[in-house]
Each structure stands twice: as structure tokens, then as C-alpha cells.
Structure 1
Amino acid sequence: MAIRIFIDQGHNPSGPNAGAEANGLREQDVNFNVGTYLAELLRTDPRFEVRVSRNTPTESLGTSNATSLAARVELANSWPADYFISIHSNANVNPAINGSEVYVYSEGSTAYYFGESILNAIVDIVGMKNNGLRVNPSLYVLRRTTMPAVLVELGYLTNAADAERLANDQVAFAYAIYMGILNYFGYEPIS
């Protein structure tokens, strides 16, 4: 039986729940592209089934921040997915802050080790700084999903070096997340 992975490309293209912007990049576009590339990788692997929250770059979910988040969780819960991955790009007022981090609901959980495997692969493959695994039970998509859920912050749009990677290495980020998933399950890549 294939493992069901739900990929949430964080944020809407515009309006309510739009993402951060910096260095000529919009978070929602980076998230959409990385999530779509990841879905394509998973679709070529018969060990997985995949669904995404946004099927087109212009698709919006919900009419407010709250309903947008609720719609993403509902899509995953009603399928039901086995694992939930929300993809984001970070921002900070300090342009020196950089790196990748993964948020989970609780320490020592299935999601914790799943997230750790994804983060390690992003650091190893893309060469991002490792900001660690962070526990944040207040995040809606981690709190309301009924399966292990992780929120991946790929890098900082507000940091010039990260922004360059977020612009140019989207396929590499997707491949790294895919490899992190394979490593977690102890799978070899399909040759």
C-alpha cells in the first residue's frame, strides 16, 4: 500500500494569506514551485501517493488566513494522508539571519523524526545552514492535522544568499525533501 503524502504549498498567490516578499521573490511562488517539483518526484515513485493543496499557481484556498489554513488541513485529513508537509520560505528584519528549519508539534514524535530526516537532507544536498528542528504546537497546520505533520522553512527570502538559492535551486530543494522522505523510510532511490 502506497504511503500518502500531502504537500501544502504554504500561502495563497495574493490577497488573504499571501506570503512574505523580499529580494524580488514572493514566498507563495517559491513554495508552489518547490511543492510541485516534490509532488512530481513522488508521483514517479510507486511507493507513494501524493496530493497538493494548490494545483495551479493561481489557486487560492479560503477567504481569510483562518479559512485558508483550515482548507489545507481539511484536504489532508479527509483524504486521509499518512504524512503532511507544509512548505514555506522565511523572512526576518535582520538580513543576516539565514538557514533552514523544520517545525513540528512535539518532541520525540513520529513527525519529529520525519522532520529531522527532511532537514538533514536539505542541509546535506542544498548546503543550507541547519537551524534545527523546532517544536511549535501553536501552528495551526501542525495542531489540526490528524497525521504526522511538518512545516519546512526552506530558507530566508530576506537573506541575499538564501534568496539566490530559493530562486535558483528549487528543484534541488524538492529533491532534498524527497531524499529526506526516502531516508526516513529506509528506502533506496528508484534507479
Structure 2
Amino acid sequence: MAIKIFIDQGHNPSGHNMGAEGFGLREQDITYQVGVYLADLLRRDGRFEVRLSRNSPEEILGTSNASSLRERVYMANSWPADYFISIHANSNENPNINGTECYVYQSYTQAYFLAQHIVLGIVARVGTRDNGVRTNPSLYVLRRTTMPSVLVELAYLSNPEDAELLMDKQYAFADGIYRGMLRYFGLGMAE
């Protein structure tokens, strides 16, 4: 039976719940495209079934920040997905901070081990710094989903080197996530 993966491309293209910006890049555009690439990789692999939170670049979820998050969680829970992957790009006031990290609801869970593989997959494929896996039980999408859920912070829009990778290596980020997932599930590359 196929493993059901719900990919949430963080943030909306306009209006409420918009993401960070840096170096002329918008988080919501990067997360949309990386999510599409990841969905394509998973769909070509018959072992997975995939749904996206945003199916077009203009799609807006919810009518407020809270309802946008609620709608993403509802879509995953009602399917129901086996795993929830929320894709984001990070930002920090300090432009020297860079790298890839994942957030999970709690340590040493299935989500935590999946997140470890995702970080390693991105770092190996894209060359970002490994910031590891962190717990953050206050994040709505991690707290309210009923399946193992990982929030992926691809890299920092506020760091010039990371921003360049986010602009030029969107497919590689998706491929890194995919390869990390395969390792977590103990699966080889699809033929």
C-alpha cells in the first residue's frame, strides 16, 4: 500500500500568512516550488501517494493566519495522510546565521527520526549547514496534525549564501528531502 504524504507549502502568495523575504526572494514562492518538485519525485515513485496544500502558485488558504494553518492541518487529517511535511524558508536578524533545520513536536518519535534523515538528505544534496532537529510543540501544524509531522526550514533567506541556494537549487532541496525520506523508510531509489 502506498505511503500517503501530505506536503504543506508554507505560507500564502498574498494577503494573510505571507512568509519571510530576503534578497528579492519570497518564502511562499520557494516553498510552493520545492513542494511541487517534491510531489513530482514522490508521484514518480509508485510507493507514495501525495497531496499538496497549494496546487497553484496563486492559491490562498484560509481567510486569516489562524484559518490558513487550520485548513492545512484539516486537509492532512481528513485525508488521512500517513506523514505531514511542511516546507519553509528561515530568516534571522543576524545575516550570518545559515543552514537547514527541522522542527518536530517531540524528540525521539517517528517524526524526529524522519526529520533527522530529511536534514541529512538536504545537507548532502545542497551543501547547507546541518543545524539538526529541534522540538517546538507550540507550532500549530505540528501540534494539531494526527500523523508524524515535520516542519522543514530549508535554509535562511536572510543569509546571502543560503539565499543563493534557495534561488538556484530548489529542485536539489526537494531531491534532498526525497532521498532523506527514502532512507527513513528503508527504501532504495525508484527505478
Please give the range of the TM-score, normalised by the shorter of the 2 chains. over 0.9
Query: Is it true that 1:145 corresponds to 2:111 in the alignment?
Result: no
User: What is the rounded CA distance, in whole Å, between the counterparts of 2:132 and 2:44 in structure 1?
Assistant: 30
TM-score (normalizing by structure 1)? 0.99
Q: What is the aligned-residue identity percentage?
A: 64
Q: In the aligned structure 2, how far is the partner of 1:117 from the partner of 1:100?
A: 12
Other-structure match for 1:123: 123
Q: How far did residue 100 of structure 1 move? A: 0.5
Q: 1:125: how far off?
A: 1.1
Report SS of the residue matched to 1:89.
strand
Alignment of 1:18-57 (within 5 A): 18-57=18-57
**Take 1:130 and 1:148, find their aligned partners in 2: how far apart are those partners?**
21
Relative to the length of structure 2, the TM-score reads 0.99
Aligned mates of 2:176, 2:121 — CA distance in 1: 5
Query: What one-letter code is carried by the residue in structure 2 that aligns with 1:108?
Result: Y
Q: Which amino acid aligns with 2:187?
A: Y
Cα distance in 2 for partners of 1:141, 1:59 equals 19
CA-based RMSD of the aligned residues comes to: 0.4
Aligned counterparts of 1:190 and 1:81: Cα–Cα separation in 2: 21
Aligned length: 191
After TM superposition, what 4+ stretches of structure 1 lie above 6 angstroms from structure 2? Answer: none
Which residue of structure 2 aligns with residue 168 of structure 1?
Answer: 168
- Please list every run of 5 or more consecutive structure 1 residues that lacks an aligned counterpart in the other structure: none
Offset at residue 132 of structure 1 (A) = 1.1
Secondary structure class of the residue paired with 2:118: helix
Distance in 2 between the 1:58 and 1:177 partners? 24
